[in-house]
Amino acid sequence: MKAYDFNAVTYDYEVYCIGCLPDGVSVHDEEVRPIFASDECDIAPVCYVCGEPHDYMGIIEQEPDLSE
């Protein structure tokens, strides 16, 4: 996957697979933001509609809190 590729987007404060976007909403709409392969996330974003996790971008592993 190239850095500029994406399979998921954010729209209306939710994550969607490209194919799960609401009717009438396109990846080309101004309100839709791609989640690029070059992006980094703390956890894999999950589609609001189908529940598919998107782990194609960099997932930053959190160090365990050993202070407890």
The mean pLDDT value for 43-66 works out to 86
Residue 23, pLDDT > 80, answer: yes
pTM of the model: 0.81
Residue among 13, 20, 30 nearest 54 (CA): 20
Note whether 37 and 6 are within 8 A (CB).
yes
What pLDDT, on the 0 to 100 scale, is given for residue 7?
A: 93
Please count the other Cβ atoms lying within 10 Å of the Cβ belonging to residue 16.
24
According to the model, what pLDDT value does residue 59 have?
Answer: 85
Within 13 Å and on the Cβ side, how many CA atoms surround 39?
20
Inter-residue contact 33 to 11 (CB < 8 Å): yes
14 three-class SS: strand
- Is residue 64 pLDDT above 80, yes or no? no
The pLDDT of residue 63 is above 80:
no
